[in-house]
Structure 1
Amino acid sequence: MERKIRLKSLNPHITCKICRGYLIDATTVTECLHTFCKSCLVKHLEEHNSCPTCEIVIHQSHPLQYISFDRTMQDIVYKLVPNLQQNETKRERDFYRRRGLPYPKANTDKMPEKDVYDFPMNTTTKDENTDCHRSDEQVNILLETNQTNHLKPMKRKFIRCSAQATVTHLKKFVAKKLFNNTDRYKEVEILCNEEILGKDHTLKFVCVTRWRFKETPLKLVYRPRQEF
């Protein structure tokens, strides 16, 4: 027997406790699992190191490393709230247009095609969906190693991949290319601006919090873990 549920009865579970609006780029604190809009949470953590809801200390010095994009929650919100995703996309486009800035999701970045590696996240077979997340917002990355460590440089140092790929995805990619063994990904660390990135950080999150207002591509460094 089907039973209709009013959207307002679900609002406490799908709204941000900071801005009181529906969750946009839902981001969860890994310590307590409370979820907020990404922009709201990042702004809060610029001056505080605790969860806005329960006030648990996330991390004394690097709280941004202990939050993670919650794709499942965001998909639920977009499915429950009519036209929310379309309206949010329109607002984003209007925001960049008013400021004379290129819309990042338009994927207009230019790099030499012969040096670009399309990094797939999809593991389905050829008979299934082979989109490989190319319909996602894309991120261009310059992946290089320090000259001071023994890891060899990439033959193709430019990578184009989904903005929803995580640092762990990237570490497994590096392990595959360097050691031909993805199980060795824990031996590799990925850094941005000399800061080690959290394993659950999405590349979109890294762009917003570590590479904001800088030109593409996003520059990352890989190093052997034992150095630390």
Structure 2
Amino acid sequence: MSKSTNETSDNLKSEGYNPASRYQERTVVPYLTLFDIERKPRETKNESCRKPIKSLNTLFRCPVCLGYMNKTSIVMECLHRFCSGCIEKCLRLGKKECPSCRVKIPSRRSLRADKDYDKLLQSMFGDINKLEKYEQDEIEMWNKNNMLNNSYAKRRKIEISKQAELRRNGGNRKSPTPMATLSIDTEDKKESKSFEETIPTGIRGLSKSSLVDFVLRKHPQEQDLRRLHRELLRTSNEITIGHLKKFLGQKLSYPSVHHIQVLGKLSDDRVVALDDSLTLEEVETFATESPMILQYKRFTK
């Protein structure tokens, strides 16, 4: 029975029948039946296997320089890839370990050139230098398009043009500008005008800052209290002298705050003790120095 079956199969092969089929059909494509040739391919329901090539760019970038691999070197201990120049510089200047996983790299002998990986990069992206230049131009164009819709960039451009026009006019600030008005809620118009003249033309229209700079220094005759580490301070002009005394008590670790005096210099060169209810704004009105200098010492009877 087996002998007849073998003879039949040999006859079919000699007559040109497809040996991969159970039926007597002629060979059209070797090792493919007519069903395999004529059937429709299956439709894929999950499209997640298709990804753009940009999503794979992180696999071809060096973790050190974040650029495309150039003369790829592979670490034999952990099989991580880097640019040959980057990994050699890391081993020469830094710790002898992998920048990705921190595994110990004994020496440069643990590195191997991965030429197959370089061929893969070249076959996928072509010239790497042209690709990086194209991506850089694309990023610059994207930034330029976004900056056109940025209000800060527009305002900066306007102010730069105003400054250029001011330089062309020889620094003449008497010409009226849209921002040349300054509104300050003060009763004395002369002080308001003098303050306005000190402000550059490009930033007029801004309100006066509520911050004040001053120096808080130890009195020359004071021997018990130590000096502050930072004498130049900046704070709100609504701070009172009483607040400064509490500040000194915390900084100097001196609990008896009511024993501290804060002294200020008047226009006639007299040094007087300032009341706790006075604000820095009020003290600044009769200060003769800029920034004003305040001194502190311990009250003695």
Query: Is TM > 0.5 for Structure 1 vs Structure 2?
Result: no
The bucket for the TM-score relative to the shorter chain is 0.3 to 0.5
Asked which structure has the greater RCO (Cα within 8 Å, sep 6+), the reply is 1
Structure with greater strand percent? 1
Structure with greater helix percent? 2
**Larger C-alpha radius of gyration, 1 or 2?**
2
TM-score (norm 1): 0.41
TM-score (norm 2): 0.31
